[in-house]
């Protein structure tokens, strides 16, 4: 699965360039797809989920894009997407791309409380705060712990009543509160969270939601807890399940589009790119651990 995802990303890398007008993608979606590509790179730094050749292509493409496209101007009209600037800053810092001028402008935006101009759920606040912190800029939101108390993870809830949004809240909160697996999650019972993850895995297999299923796999890895034999088998089965839906070209269908029928390559890209990238991340961790999340 992992290698086929890599091939699809490589074959479709030009579609991540937000400078090119697209029939099926307005400005916001083009910026979003580009930002998510950088986010995936940042997620596993100092490693890269991409082979060196593709990693170099992404770096070179990003340099060209950021030299000719002002993300700052775009964010002035799209306040809710300010984390895109922060993700780009982190990528630049990680890969020796000078974005010092853009950082000054971003800091000015935060000084003027641009991060507070959009109403966000608790886990989306953590998203923005985390991205800004990784860029070396401190947001106007409260501490991670204070925000986390209002996320799904921070409340006593019955996982049987979760929906897609609340499950995204769980996985994304784990991503940020563990710093993508780099640190221990503070103030939470990790064993309880792990139990929730493994109760949700079969739910999203039944719903054929490969996106959330991949995020649950990644989350189980980021908690840094040794899995028992049953949990290890569930991870292997989940990877096999995701692989069973992978198309010959390496793409994975988005939730609600399992049939995988699209009018053209461009439409298919913007429908499939997110699920394919998340599955790539899950596959990268699975292969890195030799199929044993311990």
pLDDT of residue 214: 98
pLDDT of residue 145: 85
In angstroms, the CA 166 to CA 40 distance is 22
pLDDT of residue 105: 83
In angstroms, the CA 108 to CA 169 distance is 29
- Token pair for 125: 């606040």
- Long-range CB contact pairs, 123-126, < 8 A, 24+: 123/151, 123/152, 123/168, 123/169, 123/172, 123/173, 126/151, 126/172, 126/173, 126/176, 126/177
pLDDT of residue 77: 64
pLDDT of residue 80: 67
CA atoms in the 13 A half-sphere facing the CB of 274: 19
Closest among 252, 175, 164 to 200, alpha carbons compared: 164
pLDDT in tens, 192-235: 999 999 999 999 999 999 999 999 999 999 999 999 999 999 99
pLDDT of residue 120: 84
Q: Which residue positions in the chain have pLDDT lower than 50?
A: none
Omega prior to 90 cis, within 30 of 0: no
pLDDT of residue 82: 80
pLDDT of residue 101: 83
pLDDT of residue 169: 92
pLDDT of residue 6: 95
CB 264 within 8 A of CB 286: no
């Amino acid at each position: 699965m992992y290698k086929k995802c890599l091939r699809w990303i490589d074959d479709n890398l030009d579609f991540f360039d937000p400078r090119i007008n697209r029939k099926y993608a307005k400005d916001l979606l083009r910026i979003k797809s580009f930002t998510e590509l950088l986010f995936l790179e940042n997620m596993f730094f100092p490693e890269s989920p991409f082979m060196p050749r593709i990693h170099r292509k992404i770096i070179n493409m990003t340099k060209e894009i950021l030299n000719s496209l002002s993300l700052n101007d775009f964010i002035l009209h799209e306040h809710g997407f300010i984390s895109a600037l922060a993700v780009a800053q982190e990528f630049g810092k990680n890969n020796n791309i000078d974005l010092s001028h853009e950082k000054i402008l971003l800091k000015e935006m935060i000084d003027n409380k641009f991060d507070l101009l959009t109403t966000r759920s608790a886990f989306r606040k953590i998203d923005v705060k985390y991205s800004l912190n990784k860029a070396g800029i401190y947001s106007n939101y409260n501490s991670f712990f204070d925000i986390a108390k209002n996320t799904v993870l921070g409340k006593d809830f019955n996982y049987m009543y979760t929906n897609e949004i609340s499950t995204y809240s769980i996985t994304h909160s784990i991503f940020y509160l563990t710093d993508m697996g780099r640190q221990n999650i503070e103030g939470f019972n990790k064993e309880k969270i792990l139990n929730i993850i493994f109760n949700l895995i079969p739910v999203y297999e039944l719903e054929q939601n490969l996106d959330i299923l991949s995020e649950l796999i990644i989350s189980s890895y980021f908690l840094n807890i040794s899995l028992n034999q049953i949990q290890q088998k569930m991870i292997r089965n989940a990877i096999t399940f995701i692989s069973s839906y992978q198309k010959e070209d390496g793409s994975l269908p988005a939730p609600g589009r399992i049939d995988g029928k699209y009018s053209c390559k461009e439409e298919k890209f913007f429908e499939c790119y997110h699920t394919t990238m998340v599955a790539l991340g899950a596959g990268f961790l699975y292969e890195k651990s030799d199929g044993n999340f311990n």
